[in-house]
Amino acid sequence: MIIVMKPQASSEQIEHVAARVQGSGLRPVPVPGEGQTTIAVLGDTRSVVIDRWLAMPGVERIVPIMTRYKLASREVQKQTSCVPLNGDVVGGARIAMMAGPCAVESLEQTMEVARRVKAAGAVALRAGAYKPRTSPYSFQGLEEEGLEILAEVRRVTGLPIVTEVLSEHLVERVAAYADVLQVGARNMQNYMLLRALGEVNKPVVLKRGMSATVEELLLAAEYVMMSGNPNVMLCCRGIRTFEDHMRYTLSLGAVAYIKKVSHLPVIVDPSHAAGERSLVPPLCKAAVACGADGLLVEVHPDPEKALVDGPQALTCEDFDTLMAQLRLVAEAVGRTL
């Protein structure tokens, strides 16, 4: 950490700050510059109340040097983590395709999609029983009934289930049915929920908030990991920008960057980012080419009848075609599908 003093800071102020640094068990190294003094702070500064120093007279700003996350950092673990999924893993050579409808609507609909995506090579079924919706007037999911449908689909098809959990008080209930617990973008900084997921023995898919920085995403993962659950997959699903031709802007540079700084596997959800079916296949290919460890793709047997997000859902036939194309891209970058 570097404390940058104001150009006009007095030597008393500099000494005062240095003394406070010392008092926190850290070592201050003042470097008097021509314009202004900086104070390098040596030691582990992650749990220091930076704000206190920033509020001291004469301090201009503080520049962090260490990353604020530890457990999620590639510094502490060089090789990519492999998160177990139904005998296979996410984070290995095989790219994990998780596909299914946005929402569970009925047993028939869910079963049909599950069969089709399994046949095409998906390793998990994604489908929402609880749906967080922007408007209170929209369909909110089948809830518990949806979970039961998912359990039945898994029993029949053998596909593990990825489904969203909206609140810490639902963690136990959803974990009783699902194989992977998903945290939605709107809940990425719901710390109560993150802590509760740390105490569950199931992998977690943590979606990047629509305006979260990568550091904030990794710190959110850190909440889950610190609470005891190392099996976190990060999911990029688009960020909010000024772009108006897609629902969100999918930042694949974030995927490449996260793979560089963190050992956690990264999956990509192009369906929510695009909001539009025709853009999903090119973005799926781009994500795989960029290094993603898995994809979350929405598939619906009859998108016109979907209760949620039909416009972005692929049909089962679209998905078959996509899988054939993706296999080639995966091989081109040394992976399998």
Is 223:191 a contact under the CB 8 Å cutoff?
A: yes
- The footprint of a copy of itself on residues 260-319 (CB under 8 A) is 260, 273-274, 278-279, 282-283, 285-291, 303-311, 313
Q: How far is the CB of 160 from a copy of itself (least distance, A)?
A: 26
- The footprint of a copy of itself on residues 174-233 (CB under 8 A) is 186-187, 189-193, 210-211, 213-216, 219, 222-223, 226
Q: How far is the CB of 157 from a copy of itself (least distance, A)?
A: 25
Q: How far is the CB of 334 from a copy of itself (least distance, A)?
A: 9
- Contact partners, residue 97, CB within 8 Å, separation at least 6: 117, 121, 122, 123, 124, 294, 295, 297, 323, 326, 337
Phi and psi angles of residue 192, each rounded to the nearest 5 degrees, phi first: -60, -45
Give the C-alpha separation, 4 to 155, whole Å: 60
Q: How far is the CB of 202 from a copy of itself (least distance, A)?
A: 20
Which window, 40-48, 108-116, 148-156, 175-183, contacts a copy of itself (CB under 8 A)?
A: 40-48
Contacting residue, 25, 35, 79, 155, with a copy of itself by CB under 8 A? 35
Closer of 157 and 190 to a copy of itself (Cβ): 190
SS (HEC) of 127-139: CECCCCCCCCCCC
Q: Which residue has the tokens 């749906």?
A: 131
> Does 13 help bind a copy of itself (rule: CB under 8 A)?
no
How many residues line the site for a copy of itself (CB under 8 A)? 108
Name the burial class of residue 49, with classes exposed (0-12), middle (13-18) and buried (19+) by CB atoms within 10 angstroms of its CB. Answer: exposed
Q: How far is the CB of 12 from a copy of itself (least distance, A)?
A: 14
Closer of 156 and 328 to a copy of itself (Cβ): 328
State the first-to-last Cα distance of the chain, in angstroms, to the nearest integer.
Answer: 43
- Contact partners, residue 305, CB within 8 Å, separation at least 6: none
Closer of 52 and 158 to a copy of itself (Cβ): 52
Buried b / exposed e over 176-201, threshold 16 CB at 10 Å, is ebbbbbbbbbebbbbeebbbbbbebe
Contacting residue, 149, 166, 197, 233, with a copy of itself by CB under 8 A? 166
- The footprint of a copy of itself on residues 242-271 (CB under 8 A) is 242-246, 249-257, 259-260
Q: Which residues sit opposite 206 in a β-bridge?
A: 183, 234
Closer of 156 and 321 to a copy of itself (Cβ): 321
Closer of 145 and 276 to a copy of itself (Cβ): 276
Give the C-alpha separation, 119 to 238, whole Å: 28
Mask: binding to a copy of itself, 53-92, rule CB under 8 A, as x and -?
A: -xxxx-----x-xx-xx-----x-----------------
Question: Which residue in 135, 131, 123, 90 sits closest to 235, CA to CA?
Answer: 90
Q: How far is the CB of 88 from a copy of itself (least distance, A)?
A: 23
- The footprint of a copy of itself on residues 85-124 (CB under 8 A) is none
Closer of 25 and 87 to a copy of itself (Cβ): 25
What one-character-per-residue DSSP string does 230-241 give?
A: --EEEEE--B--
Give the C-alpha separation, 64 to 145, whole Å: 48
Give the C-alpha separation, 157 to 193, whole Å: 30
Q: How far is the CB of 22 from a copy of itself (least distance, A)?
A: 15
Which window, 43-51, 86-94, 116-124, 154-162, contacts a copy of itself (CB under 8 A)?
A: 43-51
C-alpha distances out from residue 99 to 34, 125, 274, 308, 325, Å: 59, 5, 16, 15, 16
